Amino acid sequence: MITVETAHSILERLNATPLKGAALRRRAMELLDELDTYNWSGIYRLEEDELVLDEYVGAATDHTRIPVGRGVCGTAVAENQNQVIEDVRELENYLACSIQTRSEIVVLIKDDSRILGQIDIDGHQVGAFDQSDEKLLESISKILADKWTE
Ligand code: SME
């Protein structure tokens, strides 16, 4: 759950940077990492039929390449649909990055014609994410898509 004020502050600071491409994506993940409920914040780029780990803030993960259709991340691409998972322990198609993770949200990054990648956030609390988080991440996705390359 993100308040309107918090979302506004993050978007304002992201819009204020002159950064582009990977540096902008890094800045976005650093801003999201300030939020208490965001315990791992990262971006995957879609390269053909695989998601490739891009900028992230949090513990290193084994899942640096994820095939489309696998896990929460791959499902988002396969179904062309954001994912908001209240409790990852209830999923069969799930790739664990940390045993502490309880909830996850994945929001797609798209330009006009295709999926460029996604923002993936893990939380340690059950039900950490809702529509307010999805809305903030959608706004960030648009900013990142507009400045995807350097
Ligand atoms: N949990 C994800 C894998 C990525 S990690 O959360 C960083 C999934 O099931 O696709």
Question: Would the pTM count as exceeding 0.95?
Answer: yes
Model confidence over 86-131: pLDDT tens digits? 999 999 999 999 999 999 999 999 998 899 999 999 999 999 999 9
Model confidence over 31-81: pLDDT tens digits? 999 999 999 999 999 999 999 999 999 999 999 999 999 999 999 999 999
Closest residue by CA, ligand 1 atom 5:
97
Closest residue by CA, ligand 1 atom 2:
95
Confidence (pLDDT) at 62: 96
Helix-helix angle 131-146:21-33, to 10 degrees: 160
Range(s) of the domain holding residue 40 = 4-146
Domains: count for the chain: 1
150 — pLDDT class (breaks 50, 70, 90)? confident
User: Which residues are near ligand 1 (CB < 6 Å)?
Assistant: 40, 42, 61, 63, 66, 71-74, 94-95, 97, 104, 120, 122
What's the 112 CA to ligand 1 centre distance in angstroms? 26
Give the pairing of strands 40-47 and 50-57.
antiparallel
Confidence (pLDDT) at 143: 98
What's the 6 CA to ligand 1 centre distance in angstroms? 25
CA distance 21 to 6: 24
What's the 106 CA to ligand 1 centre distance in angstroms? 9
CATH number at residue 18: 3.30.450.40
Q: Which of 3, 46, 5, 10 is nearest to 143 (CA)?
A: 10
DSSP letters, 89-123, are: GG-SS---S-TT--EEEEEEEE-SSSEEEEEEEEE
Confidence (pLDDT) at 140: 98
Confidence (pLDDT) at 54: 98
What's the 72 CA to ligand 1 centre distance in angstroms? 6
Q: How does the average pLDDT of the chain come out, rounded?
A: 97
Closest residue by CA, ligand 1 atom 1:
95
